[in-house]
Amino acid sequence: MQHAAVVGRSVHVRVPASTANLGPGFDSIGLALGLWDEYVATTSEVPGLQIEVTGEGRADVPTDERHLVVATMRHTWSALGVAPPAGLRLEAVNGVPHGRGLGSSATAIVAGVMAAQALSSDLDTMAGEPVVVEREVTNHLASAQEGHPDNASASVYGGLTVSWMPDGTGLDLGERTVTARPQLLAQVDVVGFVPDRQLATRTARAVLPDTVPLRSAASGAGRAALLVHALTADLSHLHAATRDWLHQEPRRASYPDSMALVDALRAQGWAAFVSGAGPTVLVLTTTSQAHEVVLPERLGFESAGWHRITPGVAHVGATVTAR
């Protein structure tokens, strides 16, 4: 008999933003950021779907079955063999900017997977208490839906993550996405510059070449390894460790302003890179130096619609509690 979602249950899901790649760690290294999306999902025996959205992207996201959290919940219930409820209400408070390379799609997908698990759990959890879900299942299903694990894994676990997927990206739960969680140095901090304009991930990925020179691949592999060492043992290597050959240069024409800002910040010695698929630019630094990271006083950056943010690192990943 197919298991069914519990009718009349409500859960609160909170998911951090993330940055992917951090320069050379393409599709594998992620870092959770202190910007949060929050959702309340409630099942009902009354057929229908209700969605209420506030915050980032409220005017643009669909409020029907196409909403990414709802679509992911349906997808998750199907993968887990759970019959969906007749009625569902979703309240979304979006704190993660959309289309800026800060993992907004991953936060929605992670939230959907966690909410679906929590709403079909046999556990009778009191209001305000954490609901136990299988985080490894969340990590795999979210990564498979995203097509790459870097953002999703960081949002699931928090902190620094290094992830890889099994061959293929299907829903076979017997061979899951694997995530290592290196211990990030406590003094690591993040400063970001978010532009007014958006850039769709699919657009940024479409310009990437199918092959890269062996020298570039070797250089990138070395810097990715150095990046993990820098973030966990020796921050003096951050500038060298965030140098990328694989994806930023091929995308330069897609976000020329972002690359100009990266170039200018790196020329000043900051460990700057394009966050995920862009166009946001982030700098890895320390808590004592973060206040010094500002827009360079040239090339018109200060009047070009960049917004400075200091999200910090989210050391705790997604959570789900009973309502």
The model's pLDDT over 242-296, given as tens digits with 9 standing for 90+, comes to: 999 989 988 888 889 999 999 999 999 999 999 998 899 999 999 999 999 999 8
> Could you tell me the domains of the chain?
3-183+313-322 (3.30.230.10), 188-309 (3.30.70.890)
Specify the pLDDT at position 300: 65
Question: Cβ(254)–Cβ(158) under 8 Å?
Answer: no
Mean pLDDT, residues 30-49 taken together? 97
Specify the pLDDT at position 250: 85
Mean pLDDT, residues 186-202 taken together? 89
Percent of the chain at pLDDT > 90 equals 76
Mean pLDDT, residues 175-200 taken together? 92
> How far is it, in rounded angstroms, from Cα 288 to Cα 77?
46
Question: Cβ(321)–Cβ(133) under 8 Å?
Answer: no
Mean pLDDT, residues 61-85 taken together? 96
Which has more confidence, 216 or 22? 22
DSSP assignment of 207-245, as one string? Answer: TS-S---HHHHHHHHHHHHHHHHHHHT-GGGHHHHT--S
Specify the pLDDT at position 20: 97
Specify the pLDDT at position 270: 98
Let me know if 120 is exposed, middle or buried by CB neighbors in 10 A (0-12, 13-18, 19+).
Answer: buried
Mean pLDDT, residues 131-150 taken together? 94
Neighbouring CB atoms inside 10 A of 62's CB total 12
Structure tokens at 275: 């966050």
Mean pLDDT, residues 139-165 taken together? 95
Mean pLDDT, residues 78-83 taken together? 94
Residue 174's pLDDT band, with cuts at 50, 70 and 90, is: low
> How far is it, in rounded angstroms, from Cα 188 to Cα 72?
33
Question: Which residue in 130, 119, 137 sits closest to 43, CA to CA?
Answer: 119
For the segment 92-116, what is each residue's pLDDT rounded down to a tens digit?
999 999 999 999 999 999 999 999 9
Which has more confidence, 232 or 196? 232
Which has more confidence, 210 or 140? 140
- Beta strands 87-94; 48-55: pairing state: parallel
Specify the pLDDT at position 1: 36
One-letter amino acid for residue 183 of the chain: Q
Specify the pLDDT at position 172: 52
The answer to whether residue 302 scores a pLDDT higher than 70 is no
The answer to whether residue 212 scores a pLDDT higher than 90 is no
> How far is it, in rounded angstroms, from Cα 221 to Cα 79?
34
Percent of the chain at pLDDT > 70 equals 94
Residue 169's pLDDT band, with cuts at 50, 70 and 90, is: very low
Q: Which residues pair with 193 in a beta bridge?
A: 281, 308
> How far is it, in rounded angstroms, from Cα 142 to Cα 160?
17
Specify the pLDDT at position 202: 74
Poorest-pLDDT segment among 79-88, 232-241, 249-258: 249-258
Structure tokens at 235: 């921050």
The per-residue pLDDT of the chain, averaged, comes to 92
> How far is it, in rounded angstroms, from Cα 309 to Cα 131?
32
Question: Which residue in 193, 189, 188 sits closest to 260, CA to CA?
Answer: 193
Which has more confidence, 6 or 233? 233
